[in-house]
Amino acid sequence: MTDQPAKRVKVDMHMHSEVSPDSRMRPAEQARRIRESGLDVACATDHNSIEGGLRLREIADGFRVIVGEEILSKDGEIVGLFLERTIPPRLSAEETIKRIRDQGGIVSIPHPFSRNRLNHIRYPVLERIKGDIDAIEILNAREAFTGDNLRAARYASENGIPGAAASDAHRPAEIGAAWLEMDDFDGPEAFRAALRSGTVDGQLSGQLVHLWTRMDVIRKWFARRLGG
């Protein structure tokens, strides 16, 4: 009797919803597009909140949701996965990681070498914490420059850190742009182990997505002003 090969699943490790200040994507739209894209697992990682992930998990149908958060530490952005409580921003990178671990969560570093983001982790911090992280995004579909993803891939390979892949979607059309295909898992420990089986796939979403994001930020700002 031969062992059956492990089931493989497509995982998007980083996406946003209207809970984030730079997205207007409603959970129902998000869920519809996740199903259309053929993803098996969606990691919902709004800025400094798990509320979007909790909402998406409630309505998930045909896919699984990992509740997460993209946390703005005082040293740059860090993604925590498998969370049940929001982690506050502006803590040190080390304290942020500790609080993710306190919940049994997974630590992923988004877009570490990005030239089009202000809040990414800088190289000296990455060097400081590299022994305490589970994954580094080596394909982020919203990078403006392919070279930034390639630099992240080289760093991950040189340091023996599994690669992550993410659409980093802020609008429905962006979901499905990038994903990690990996062995199936059940819970955070199995997820951590399965990361090493992962292969990345996808492409950049293009430059226009950044313009749309700026427009959404402005629209939400005006909506708050008019609502007030």
The whole-angstrom separation of Cα 132 and Cα 134 is: 7
* CATH numbers and ranges of domains, the chain: 8-227 (3.20.20.140)
In the chain, the N- to C-terminal Cα span, in Å, equals 68
Per-residue buried b or exposed e for 153-166, using 16+ beta carbons within 10 Å of the residue's own CB: bebbeeeebbbbbb
CA distance 136 to 112: 8
Each of the 228 residues of the chain gets a pLDDT tens digit; together they read 456 778 999 999 999 999 999 999 999 999 999 999 999 999 999 999 999 999 999 999 999 999 999 999 999 999 999 999 999 999 999 999 999 999 999 999 999 999 989 999 999 999 999 999 999 999 999 999 999 999 999 999 999 999 999 999 999 999 999 999 999 999 999 999 999 999 999 999 876 676 667 666 667 666 767 775
Instruction: List the alpha helices (DSSP H) in the chain.
Output: 27-37, 51-59, 93-102, 123-129, 146-159, 188-194, 208-227
pTM: 0.91
Q: CA quadruple 47, 53, 59, 64: dihedral positive or negative?
A: positive
Total residues found in the chain within this entry: 228
Residue pointed to by tokens 């819970």 = 187
